[in-house]
Amino acid sequence: MEIKKPSRGRRHHEESFKQAVIEACQETGASVAGIALANGVNANQVRRWMRERGITPSNQRTVLAESASPAFVPVTVSETVSPSADIRLELRREHATVTIQWPVAAAGECGAWLREWLR
């Protein structure tokens, strides 16, 4: 039995394809790696196409760090709240939602857990 090794040649992409990928990468919040993966191209190749055209890909980490600086927001519990009540946290990210319920009587522990989790 003879096994033929597949040959790997260079792929050629049309200029219109390259331009479409680059335009998609310039959308607000777009990930170069995600767009490259969706189009079957290596992210480094897409970044090279952008560099060759004088386009600098945005650094998403910098944008997120500047726009999403978390701040501690103190919350006071009213005396009229029953100690058997729950704290309800709903965390959303894209299409996922996580709901956490914590007893009001342990509000301090809830705050400590949340601070640690958000690190």
**pLDDT value of residue 68:** 55
Q: What is the pLDDT of residues 51-81, one digit of tens each?
A: 999 988 766 554 445 555 556 667 666 666 6
**pLDDT value of residue 79:** 66
Q: Give CA–CA dist 29/78, Å, rounded.
A: 40
What is the residue type of 1?
A: M
- Whether 49 and 35 map to the same domain: the answer is yes
- Whether 60 and 95 map to the same domain: the answer is no
- Whether 58 and 21 map to the same domain: the answer is yes
Give the total number of structural domains in the chain: 2
Question: Is 78 inside any structural domain?
Answer: yes
Residue 91 pLDDT exceeds 90: no
Q: Which domain holds residue 105?
A: 70-117
Q: Give CA–CA dist 33/19, Å, rounded.
A: 16
Can you give the C-alpha Rg of the chain in angstroms?
24
**pLDDT value of residue 59:** 61
- Whether 20 and 50 map to the same domain: the answer is yes
- Whether 25 and 60 map to the same domain: the answer is yes
Structure-model confidence comparison of residues 74 and 108, the more confident one: 108
Q: Give CA–CA dist 87/100, Å, rounded.
A: 8
Q: What is the pLDDT of residues 19-51, one digit of tens each?
A: 999 999 888 888 899 899 899 999 999 999 999
SS3 at position 104: helix
Residue 102 host element (H or E): strand 96-103
- Whether 96 and 62 map to the same domain: the answer is no
- Whether 24 and 60 map to the same domain: the answer is yes
- Whether 62 and 74 map to the same domain: the answer is no
Q: Give CA–CA dist 26/101, Å, rounded.
A: 40
- Whether 78 and 61 map to the same domain: the answer is no
- Whether 78 and 112 map to the same domain: the answer is yes
Q: Give CA–CA dist 60/47, Å, rounded.
A: 14
Cα end-to-end span (Å), the chain? 57
